[in-house]
């Protein structure tokens, strides 16, 4: 299995685009949010929708509060004549995985992947509670920040981290975000100052939480001749896998992420050096857990884009990690990179994508 997951067929990230991440976009609907992103992701490489053979999107109805939110969003692409198209109720990183699987069969050469979501429309704490076991957990409405705080507390109790570590990660992320024009929260505030914040839920202070973000993103995947046509120096996906853990928080060691470790192993992450990592750790402490699970030492730069602490558009934040990791390679800053995406409470489900330049 692992040999196959280390890609029989090379697939490249041919183009990446994302919306300006904002706290609240109340001027556009989902189609209007997506249209410029789709235009940019095609425009970057001078192609149109006619050049892709498959379309896959990621979104969730629970952000818009109505069923079938992906249906109208499809108008952002304009699927006429009809297209081969699919949708996952997951982060766009998993939509990318579905497209990548199809490309492995060798019958198509290019795919468009996109995702979108407006986190600003409702109360995320209430909404994300509905992800939980509907019989034994959801009726108690445990909110997502409190669950993350339980995990952070476990990490401190295990002696694996301190609150100062969380502040250092937050300070670094938002300082790095100053060089990312698409970031939502970017500033240069020392960790010591951040530690003066009030707790939101102990031991998590305001800075250790992700911002609430409206956003959208898109990637074009290409294989075969198209990968070469659309880029002089393609960025290749060389390993790709995702794994899930049990839902019961009490049955998990919240200070580790065995699903990330397994996915990294299948994706062949340890087969070479890692120059940069884009990690989808919405809460500061989660970066520590994922870094360890990926086996990255302290020298590997994490989230030079600012990461999810600088912009966390639900359903797109994982896809953006893959796009940002590819951008690091494309710019020449890295030769080999890893991108990570997560879903579920306390990092229950994790995806690892290994990227390499030439």
Partner 1 sequence: MAERCAVIGVGQTHHKAKREDVSIAGLVREAAKAALADADLTWSDIDAVVIGKAPDMFEGNMMPEIYLAPALGAVGKPMFRVHTAGSVGGSTALVAAHLVKSGIHKRVLTVAYEKQSDSDAMWALSVPQPFAAPLLAGAGGYFAPHIRAYMRRSGAPEHIGRMVAVKDRQNAMRNPYAHLHLADIDMKMVEESMMLWDPLRYLEACPSSDGAAAMVLAAEDALSGQYPPAWIHGTAMRSEPTMFAGRDQVNPQAGRDCSADVYAQAGITNPREQFDCAEVYVPFSWYEPMWLENLGFCDLGDGWKLTESGATAFDGDIPWNASGGVLSSNPIGASGMLRFLEVAMQVRGQAGEHQVDGAKLALGQAYGGGSQFFSMWVVGSAKP
Q: How far is the CB of 13 from partner 1 (least distance, A)?
A: 18
Is 169 or 314 the residue whose CB approaches partner 1 more closely? 314
Q: Which of 11, 38, 41, 127 binds partner 1 (CB under 8 A)?
A: 127
By CB under 8 A, tell whether 141 contacts partner 1. no
Q: How far is the CB of 71 from partner 1 (least distance, A)?
A: 5
Q: Which of 43, 46, 65, 190 binds partner 1 (CB under 8 A)?
A: 65
Q: Which of 24, 43, 46, 78 binds partner 1 (CB under 8 A)?
A: 78
**DSSP assignment string, 8-38:** SS-EEEEEEEEPPPBS---S--HHHHHHHHH
Is 97 or 236 the residue whose CB approaches partner 1 more closely? 97
By CB under 8 A, tell whether 244 contacts partner 1. yes
DSSP 242: E
| CA–CA separation, 356 and 3 (whole Å) | 17
By CB under 8 A, tell whether 105 contacts partner 1. yes
By CB under 8 A, tell whether 242 contacts partner 1. yes
Q: Which of 162, 179, 246, 331 binds partner 1 (CB under 8 A)?
A: 246
DSSP 270: G
* Burial class of residue 17, CB neighbours in 10 A (0-12, 13-18, 19+): buried
Question: Which stretch in 77-85, 109-117, 155-163, 332-340 sits in contact with partner 1 by CB under 8 A?
Answer: 77-85
Contacts for 241 with CB less than 8 Å, ≥ 6 apart: 5, 262, 263, 264, 266, 267, 351, 352
By CB under 8 A, tell whether 74 contacts partner 1. yes
Backbone angles phi, psi at 60, to 5 degrees: -135, 135
Cβ(104)–Cβ(201) below 8 Å = no
By CB under 8 A, tell whether 270 contacts partner 1. no
Give the total of residues touching partner 1 (CB under 8 A): 66
Q: Which of 50, 81, 196, 332 binds partner 1 (CB under 8 A)?
A: 81
By CB under 8 A, tell whether 126 contacts partner 1. no
Q: Which tokens sit at 93?
A: 């990183």
By CB under 8 A, tell whether 130 contacts partner 1. yes
Is 20 or 104 the residue whose CB approaches partner 1 more closely? 104
Query: Which of 6, 19, 97 is closest to 54 using CA atoms?
Result: 97
By CB under 8 A, tell whether 133 contacts partner 1. yes
By CB under 8 A, tell whether 1 contacts partner 1. yes
Cβ(153)–Cβ(96) below 8 Å = no
Q: Which of 128, 296, 326, 327 binds partner 1 (CB under 8 A)?
A: 128
Q: What spatial distance separates the first Cα and last Cα of the chain, rounded to whole Å? A: 25
Contacts for 69 with CB less than 8 Å, ≥ 6 apart: 30, 59, 60, 61, 63
Q: Which residues pair with 353 in a beta bridge?
A: 240, 339
Query: Which of 322, 344, 306, 278 is closest to 170 using CA atoms?
Result: 306
Q: Which of 5, 22, 93, 354 binds partner 1 (CB under 8 A)?
A: 5
Q: Which tokens sit at 99?
A: 């497209």
Is 116 or 166 the residue whose CB approaches partner 1 more closely? 116
Question: Which stretch in 130-138, 194-202, 227-235, 289-297 sits in contact with partner 1 by CB under 8 A?
Answer: 130-138
By CB under 8 A, tell whether 247 contacts partner 1. yes
Kindly give the residue spans of alpha helices, DSSP state H, lying in 86-234.
Answer: 92-104, 124-129, 144-157, 163-176, 191-194, 224-229
Question: Which stretch in 39-47, 198-206, 237-245, 322-330 sits in contact with partner 1 by CB under 8 A?
Answer: 237-245
Residues in contact with partner 1 by the rule CB under 8 A: 1, 4-5, 8, 29, 55, 60-62, 64-68, 70-72, 74-75, 78-90, 94, 97-98, 101-102, 104-107, 127-128, 130-135, 138, 241-248, 258-259, 262, 343-345, 348-349
């Amino acid at each position: 299995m692992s040999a196959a997951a280390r890609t029989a067929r090379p697939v490249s990230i041919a183009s990446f685009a994302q919306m300006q991440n904002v706290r609240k976009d109340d001027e556009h609907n989902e189609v209007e949010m997506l249209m410029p992103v789709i235009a940019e992701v095609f425009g970057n490489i001078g192609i149109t929708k006619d050049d892709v053979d498959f379309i896959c999107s990621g979104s969730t109805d629970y952000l818009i509060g109505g069923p079938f939110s992906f249906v109208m969003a499809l108008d952002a692409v304009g699927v006429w004549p009809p297209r081969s198209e699919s949708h996952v109720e997951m982060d766009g990183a998993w939509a990318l995985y579905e497209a990548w699987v199809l490309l492995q069969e060798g019958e198509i050469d290019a795919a468009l992947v996109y995702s979108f979501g407006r986190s600003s429309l409702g109360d995320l704490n209430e909404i994300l509670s509905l992800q939980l076991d509907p019989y034994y957990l959801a009726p108690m409405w445990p909110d997502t920040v409190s669950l993350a705080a339980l995990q952070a507390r476990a990490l401190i109790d295990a002696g694996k981290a301190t609150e100062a570590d969380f502040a250092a990660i937050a300070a670094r992320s938002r300082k790095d975000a100053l060089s990312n024009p698409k970031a939502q929260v970017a500033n240069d505030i020392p960790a010591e100052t951040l530690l003066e914040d009030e707790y939101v839920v102990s031991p998590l202070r305001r800075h250790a939480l992700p911002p609430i973000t409206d956003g959208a993103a898109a990637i074009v995947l290409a294989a075969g001749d198209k990968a070469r046509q659309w880029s002089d120096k393609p960025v290749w996906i060389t390993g790709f896998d995702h794994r899930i853990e049990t839902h019961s928080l009490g049955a998990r060691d919240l200070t580790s992420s065995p699903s990330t470790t397994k996915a990294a192993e299948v994706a062949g992450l340890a087969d070479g050096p890692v120059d940069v990592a884009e990690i989808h750790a919405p809460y500061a402490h989660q970066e520590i857990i994922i870094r360890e699970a990926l086996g990255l030492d302290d020298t590997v730069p994490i989230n030079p884009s600012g990461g999810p602490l600088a912009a966390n558009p639900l359903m797109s934040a994982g896809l953006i990690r893959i796009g940002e990791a590819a951008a690091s390679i494309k710019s020449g800053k890295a030769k080999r990179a890893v991108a990570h995406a997560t879903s579920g409470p306390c990092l229950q489900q994790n995806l690892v994508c290994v990227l390499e330049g030439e």
